[in-house]
Amino acid sequence: MREVYVIGSGLTKIGNLWDKGLRDLAVEAGLAAMEEAGVESVDAVFVGNMMSGILNAQENLGSYVADYLGLSGVPAFKVEAACASGGAAVVSAAMAIKSGLFDRVLVVGVEKMSDMTATEDVTSALATASEADYELFWGASFVSLNALIMRAYAQRYGLKEEDFGWMPILMHKNASDVPYAQLRFPITMEAYLSSPKIADPIKLLDSAPMGDGSAAAVLSASERRDGEGISVALVGFGSATDAMALYTREDLVELKGAKLAAKRAMEMAEVTPRDLQVLEVHDAFSVMGYLNLEALGVVEPGKASRLIESGDADRSGSLPVNPEGGLKARGHPVGATGVYQFVELYRQLSGRAGPAQAGSPELGAAMNVGGTGSNVVVTILRRVS
Amino acid sequence: MREVYVIGSGLTKIGNLWDKGLRDLAVEAGLAAMEEAGVESVDAVFVGNMMSGILNAQENLGSYVADYLGLSGVPAFKVEAACASGGAAVVSAAMAIKSGLFDRVLVVGVEKMSDMTATEDVTSALATASEADYELFWGASFVSLNALIMRAYAQRYGLKEEDFGWMPILMHKNASDVPYAQLRFPITMEAYLSSPKIADPIKLLDSAPMGDGSAAAVLSASERRDGEGISVALVGFGSATDAMALYTREDLVELKGAKLAAKRAMEMAEVTPRDLQVLEVHDAFSVMGYLNLEALGVVEPGKASRLIESGDADRSGSLPVNPEGGLKARGHPVGATGVYQFVELYRQLSGRAGPAQAGSPELGAAMNVGGTGSNVVVTILRRVS
């Protein structure tokens, strides 16, 4: 089977970017990735996006992004898997290369959430990741579904309010020197504890902000070593689905899809959780970040908060987690998030992470979660040198 | 490179199906395809859909469809390419098999356009296939953009009003005995000529109806011969993009993306237009059907209406076109249409087309068009016996 290498990356600042539209964001990230890769063309484009139809009155994003990148003619599709759309686009691009039909593929994740042109509000748009008839119709929002998970998780493992604070505190600390991050300021445990609840027990400071952004990567069947002889290979990827509606799951707290996706990716990469040296996890809410760490198998169930509290997950720790600040503080432009994670992992492994560089990791994984765990994509990158 | 075979198909009736939702349709078609294939599981699911977020307040369709098919756990994504979403999902599934990572993949195309739950109307939703800022914002609808193409085409080749009537007349004739077709009645040239214009020069009877429906196919790396020793292989596929906004194209009448997609598919299949024995084309509007035939290279530019008028495109003709009635009369449930075309082609080649069977073709092609030609997918099937 053919190898897949990451040969370039690009991303935009994340935030409520009133002066940039869907098109501007995708083009900025896409061109940056192609420039870093040193290429002027690609064989195909995959766009990860969740809500452009609802929020921007724009579908057909494959053609749209290809056209405005000056690539019109190439095959180009949009891939959607709720908040895992970015990861799904990465995996689609990797399969396209492995099929032998394409040698060099561009992945662009993009979401434009503020300044929307359509009539739906963002909360309703996000809720389309859940089950329309049996969850949304009855008034559940995406936050309230995650609140059910958090409550069950806290109860099962006897966790207290402050146990959930360690995740956002570390994320804000990490993001504070990341130029493109949305929330570049630290928060304290006091601030966390006094933060208002938006869906009990989820606090405002448990929740990723709403933002616009785009990230992109160029994948290639051919290796491309940098000046220091380093290249990065996508050695494993796996994805899995789980029950769509939360109430139909056997266990609110076990993310079966996340475990399955992690298992598939690790089998493909022929690695175990112990081999991983840096992680990107999907902390849309603090509890989801913890459940990701547990599904990856790097910590026992119920112990994720201790991993973060102990300092082991710091940039200087034994297993850095989200060194750029994660969804909570780097930001969460939904359909782009999986590509941000992938790009950040690539930058960590190739020593391009700048102030966020967390040592010199050789192997890392990113977990991108859609819905309340109903669609999960895991990618594993390895440094080759 | 691995081969890809079609081993099962399923579809629902098309229409304004007030008693069936998005879920019901996808499950009905998906289960039918798995039953025809004689399989109880698949390795992955790709869902072709364009507007579920806008019209049904439901995204995350990969997880959704997998779950309600009893397949939860498998990798599953939604693929979107406007009206070519179905074809895009077929191609994604084919690449997944060619990658060597999956052996058996289910493709489900689905669109639920009537009885929508969200606030947008269908015309606005369809218009998201066009350019939001430079076409929609100024009042162009999807129909009016196609009207510009029709006007330019008629002018260039000196075509009259009735020249465009041959396409819908044949489509209605073909659909009249197809059990799942939406419009099962013939129309006359008189009816066509007196049909009201909905965006001059496009008449109501030039236009595909709005309908709900789902079609599905099981693709496999392993051949499966039926009782008569026949199997069907996906021997070629190609896709291409073209300029998103119509006004930025060099030529309104030349579908560059369609030509490129056809060329790629034919090169992969190692065939020429002369080898094709049955066609499925994307006649969302009569002119688009004609332009598809010309882009496929089976007729000279400007001569497509004569091909239809001559009777050569009849079921009993030398090159049957849309023997089940095409988008115009079989129906056009947008994101499902590409899968309907693919399934119909499969049924023609395997002798399963029932009353619509058009001889005994061995090689055929389907062209699925998104936007005003901005995203096009061509698939080529061959009978193996």
Tell me the pLDDT tens digit for each residue of A23-54: 999 999 999 999 999 999 999 999 999 999 99
Distance between B35 CA and the closest CA of chain A, angstroms = 22
* Interchain contact, B77 vs A79, CB within 8 Å: yes
What is the three-state SS of B194-218?
A: CCCEEECCEEHHHECCCCEEEEEEE
Distance between A285 CA and the closest CA of chain B, angstroms = 19
pLDDT of B120 > 80? The answer is: no
Nearest to A30 by CA among A112, A113, A110, A115: A110
Q: How many CB pairs under 8 A join A and B?
A: 225
- Chain-centroid distance, C-alpha A348: 15
- The residue in chain B having the minimum alpha-carbon distance to the alpha carbon of residue A90 is B77
A244, A371 in Cβ contact below 8 A? yes
pLDDT of B122 > 90? The answer is: no
Q: Which helix (H) or strand (E) holds B369?
A: strand B363-370
- Which tokens hold the place of B365? 């092609």
* Interchain contact, A60 vs B81, CB within 8 Å: yes
pLDDT of residue A40: 97
Nearest to B145 by CA among B158, B132, B134, B130: B130
β-bridge partners, A367: A378
Distance separating alpha carbons of residues A265 and A260, to the nearest angstrom: 9
* Interchain contact, B120 vs A124, CB within 8 Å: no
pLDDT of residue B385: 84
pLDDT of B119 > 80? The answer is: no
Distance between B185 CA and the closest CA of chain A, angstroms = 33
* Interchain contact, B53 vs A57, CB within 8 Å: no
* Interchain contact, B80 vs A88, CB within 8 Å: no
What is residue B285's DSSP assignment?
A: B
Picking from A60, A119, A371, the nearest residue to B60 by CB comes out as: A371
Q: Which residues of B touch A295 (CB under 8 A)?
A: none
* Interchain contact, A63 vs B371, CB within 8 Å: yes
Picking from B96, B136, B370, the nearest residue to A63 by CB comes out as: B370
Q: Which of B79, B83, B296, B308 is catalytic?
A: B83
* Interchain contact, A257 vs B1, CB within 8 Å: no
DSSP-derived secondary structure for A134-195: TTGGGT--HHHHHHHHHHHHHHHHT--GGGGTHHHHHHHHHHTT-TT-S--S---HHHHHTS
pLDDT of residue A137: 84
A168, A328 in Cβ contact below 8 A? yes
- The residue in chain A having the minimum alpha-carbon distance to the alpha carbon of residue B71 is A241
pLDDT of residue A119: 52
- Chain-centroid distance, C-alpha A53: 21
For residue B89, give the 3-state DSSP assignment.
helix
B315, B323 in Cβ contact below 8 A? yes
- The residue in chain A having the minimum alpha-carbon distance to the alpha carbon of residue B23 is A133
B170, B319 in Cβ contact below 8 A? no
Q: Which residues of B touch A77 (CB under 8 A)?
A: 79-81, 88, 91-92, 239, 375
* Interchain contact, A63 vs B127, CB within 8 Å: no
pLDDT of residue B160: 98
Q: Which residues of A touch B371 (CB under 8 A)?
A: 60, 63
Torsions phi, psi of B204, nearest 5? -55, -45
Q: Is A213 exposed, middle or buried (0-12, 13-18, 19+ CB in 10 A)?
A: buried
The yes/no answer to whether this complex scores an ipTM above 0.85 is yes
pLDDT of residue B117: 59
pLDDT of A116 > 80? The answer is: no
Residue A118's pLDDT band, with cuts at 50, 70 and 90, is: low
Q: Is A270 exposed, middle or buried (0-12, 13-18, 19+ CB in 10 A)?
A: exposed
pLDDT tens, residue by residue, A66-87 = 999 999 999 999 999 999 999 9
Distance between A299 CA and the closest CA of chain B, angstroms = 23
- The residue in chain A having the minimum alpha-carbon distance to the alpha carbon of residue B116 is A132
A197 backbone φψ class: left, alpha, beta (φ>0; ψ -120 to 50): beta
pLDDT tens, residue by residue, A329-352 = 999 999 999 999 999 999 999 999
pLDDT above 90 covers a percentage of chain A that reads 90
pLDDT tens, residue by residue, B312-352 = 999 999 999 999 999 999 999 999 999 999 999 999 999 99
Q: Which of A2, A3, A60 to mutate to test the interface with B (most CBs of B within 10 A)?
A: A60
Distance separating alpha carbons of residues B15 and B114, to the nearest angstrom: 9
- Of the listed ranges A160-169, A221-230, B214-223, the least confidently predicted one is A221-230
Distance separating alpha carbons of residues A65 and B269, to the nearest angstrom: 28
pLDDT tens, residue by residue, B20-55 = 999 999 999 999 999 999 999 999 999 999 999 999
pLDDT tens, residue by residue, B187-208 = 999 999 999 999 999 999 999 9
Taking residues A230-239, report their average pLDDT: 97
- Which tokens hold the place of B99? 């990658």
pLDDT of residue B312: 98
Q: Which helix (H) or strand (E) holds B77?
A: strand B76-80
Q: Which of B60, B113, B234, B372 to mutate to test the interface with A (most CBs of A within 10 A)?
A: B60
Distance between B211 CA and the closest CA of chain A, angstroms = 19
Residue B121's pLDDT band, with cuts at 50, 70 and 90, is: confident
Distance between A194 CA and the closest CA of chain B, angstroms = 34
pLDDT tens, residue by residue, A263-275 = 999 999 999 999 9
- The residue in chain A having the minimum alpha-carbon distance to the alpha carbon of residue B3 is A99
Active site residues of A: 83, 332
Tell me the CB-side half-sphere exposure of residue B10, using CA atoms within 13 A: 23
pLDDT of residue A178: 98
Picking from A53, A77, A371, the nearest residue to B81 by CB comes out as: A77
Picking from B61, B128, B238, the nearest residue to A59 by CB comes out as: B128
pTM: 0.98
A111, A370 in Cβ contact below 8 A? no
Q: Mean pLDDT score of chain A, rounded to an integer?
A: 96
Q: Which residues of A touch B247 (CB under 8 A)?
A: none
Distance separating alpha carbons of residues B333 and B212, to the nearest angstrom: 5
Torsions phi, psi of A106, nearest 5? -100, 135
Q: Which residues of A touch B133 (CB under 8 A)?
A: 21, 23
Helices (H), chain B: 22-37, 52-56, 61-68, 85-98, 122-127, 142-157, 166-175, 189-193, 256-269, 286-295, 304-309, 334-349
Picking from A56, A81, A119, the nearest residue to B119 by CB comes out as: A119
* Interchain contact, B77 vs A75, CB within 8 Å: no
* Interchain contact, B73 vs A374, CB within 8 Å: no
- Chain-centroid distance, C-alpha A210: 14
Residue B183's pLDDT band, with cuts at 50, 70 and 90, is: very high
Picking from A21, A80, A98, the nearest residue to B101 by CB comes out as: A98
* Interchain contact, A241 vs B118, CB within 8 Å: no
Cα-Cα-Cα-Cα dihedral sign, residues A129, A130, A131, A135: negative
pLDDT tens, residue by residue, A121-143 = 888 888 889 988 888 888 888 89
Q: Which of B219, B241, B369, B374 to mutate to test the interface with A (most CBs of A within 10 A)?
A: B241
pLDDT of residue B227: 86
pLDDT of residue B118: 54
Q: Which residues of A touch B99 (CB under 8 A)?
A: 1, 95-96, 98-99
pLDDT of residue A120: 60
- For A154-179, give one letter per residue: b (16+ CB within 10 A) or e: beebebeeebbbbbbbbbbbbbbebe
* Interchain contact, B53 vs A128, CB within 8 Å: yes
Q: Which helix (H) or strand (E) holds B243?
A: none
pLDDT of A115 > 90? The answer is: no
pLDDT of residue B116: 67
Please identify, in words, the CATH class of the domain defined by A5-120+210-220.
alpha beta
Q: Which residues of A touch B4 (CB under 8 A)?
A: none
